[in-house]
Structure 1
Amino acid sequence: MCGFPLIWLWGLGRTGTVGMVIQEFLPQAQLCREFLPQAQLCRNSCPRSSSAGNSCPRPSSAGNSCPRPSSAGNSCPRPSSAGNSCPRPSSAGNSCPRPSSAGNSCPRPSSAGNSCPRPSSAGNSCPRPSSAGNSCPRPSSAGNSCPRPSSAGNSCPRPSSAGNSCPRPSSAGNSCPRPSSAGNSCPRPSSAGNSCPRPSSAGNSCPRPSSAGNSCPRPSSAGNSCPRPSSAGNSCPRPSSAGNSCPRPSSAGNSCPRPSSAGNSCPRPSSAGNSAGRAFPTPAMLDLVPAQRWGCPEAAPH
């Protein structure tokens, strides 16, 4: 068929039968090769979006194919300059990021599915919060992602200039974030030592004293954390100027001593648990002066 003179096909075209003849006798691939060698759509069909089915990509300059979104089916990203594909969000399916200049894909949030971060200049993806799913941080200039809090999911600190995510940094010691509405604890920084958080409304919490559970310290100027007492749980000391922690008594749990100027802790008795010393004050004793409250002479040091 392709060997026939073109003038014969021109004659058929004038009678309106050229399309029928080509469709009847020529395969589509041969038709593209013989008559439309320049048509890109015949060689590699790349639609923009399909109403249903799989994704319909366009070619990317580097990496995997990066299609535009389809109304249904898998995600349909746009191409990224480097790395994995970086799609835009689709109405349904997986997350659909925008491209990042370097590193992993960094999508914007999708209405459903996983978190959809914005790209970071370096390192892992740094998303903004999504209404549901994992935490969605803002990007950090270097290191791991450093998110802001999300309404649900893991803790969301503020970004650090370098290193792991750190909410707000502490002058020394571990990271000390601010509390999040849900997720892990978000402490404030301590001048030295371990992190000293404030409480979060949900999740782990080690802020100021809790009504039950583990101790909830405030930061000490030196050494380990030195919490205030909780009504129940482990001991909750105040800081000592030197040596181990020296807590005040709690109504339940282990003994809670007052601080000593040097050396080991020096507790006063608790109403339950271990005890070293005098009886725990009763409510009637609380109206007395501190020295009388503990049965001490007026001149006795405290």
Structure 2
Amino acid sequence: MTVSRRALLAAPLAAPAVARAQSWPSGAIRIIVPFAAGGSTDAVARIVSPGLTQRLGVPVVVENRSGAAGSLGTGAVATARPDGNTWLLTFDSHATLPALLPNLPFNLTGDLDPVLLIGGAPYVIAVRPDKPYRNLADIVNAAKARPDAINYGSTGNGTLGHLTMVMLGARAGVRMAHLPYRGGGLAVNDTVAGHVEMMIGSAALVAPQITSGNLRPVVQFGPERLPALRDVPTAIESGFPGLEAEAWWGVFAPHGTPAPMQQRMVTALQESFRDERVNRTMTESQQARLVLGGPEVLRPFLDRQIALWGQVVRDNQVQAD
């Protein structure tokens, strides 16, 4: 049998990698959230981190590194050592980065390995209860009457919430002013305070304020109504067929992170999210539909999202902040 030179060279390198994977984890693990604290991505990371700490036996620390549409924190993970100590828990806008920031200093699909598709929740337009908007038609009519005067907040320029409103404006023939925020919590706070006319965010983000009565949902962008928002029509029901947008959360690792580490993280994540208390928090408080699909689910899903929302960015010449 002939052994290739590449195989001979790889053999001594493989043994240490296997040993590291077998002894992992041996120290604290960082989960980087590429958005400010207070948003739904931050909430999801903090909901699951205690379960990961318990199952992996080491501290699991959530680190917020916001900026540049999420690319700063994402880039920190893409360029991190693939030693199992750094992971990315990110949001749906991850899929817009290649179109929104064509000069990214890293390759979104080449430098990051997909680990787990956690799940998702539909986008929702929400307003203060004292605002006059009771349905999507009210918003469209107000925007037609006062072009560029009706404003809305989102979790950032080029995020799916922003792009959904861009699509709505194009379909309805109206123009609204976009106020991008550096995180979901900031957008929620300003909407509740009345500094912004309305906001669009995932059902997970706005659910606590809806439950408390500080915000009123006007329309949701899922394919069907959420059980917790059964009285709130979808955009499809409101006369915009095909206008759907759902937030999603996923976990990624630096490319080259050993497969045994990735598989152990997948198992720990799935077990943590399936814990009765965590599952209830995600499905009720965060309004999430859990998927918990591994790399074989996340990889093709991400490819579809990149194609879909990248086209919206290009067609509407959306630019990053």
Q: What is the TM-score of this pair, normalised by structure 1?
A: 0.22
Determine which structure has more spread, i.e. the larger CA radius of gyration.
Answer: 1
Q: What is the TM-score of this pair, normalised by structure 2?
A: 0.21
Does 1 or 2 have the higher relative contact order (CA < 8 Å, sep 6+)? 2
Q: Give the structure with the higher percent helix.
A: 2
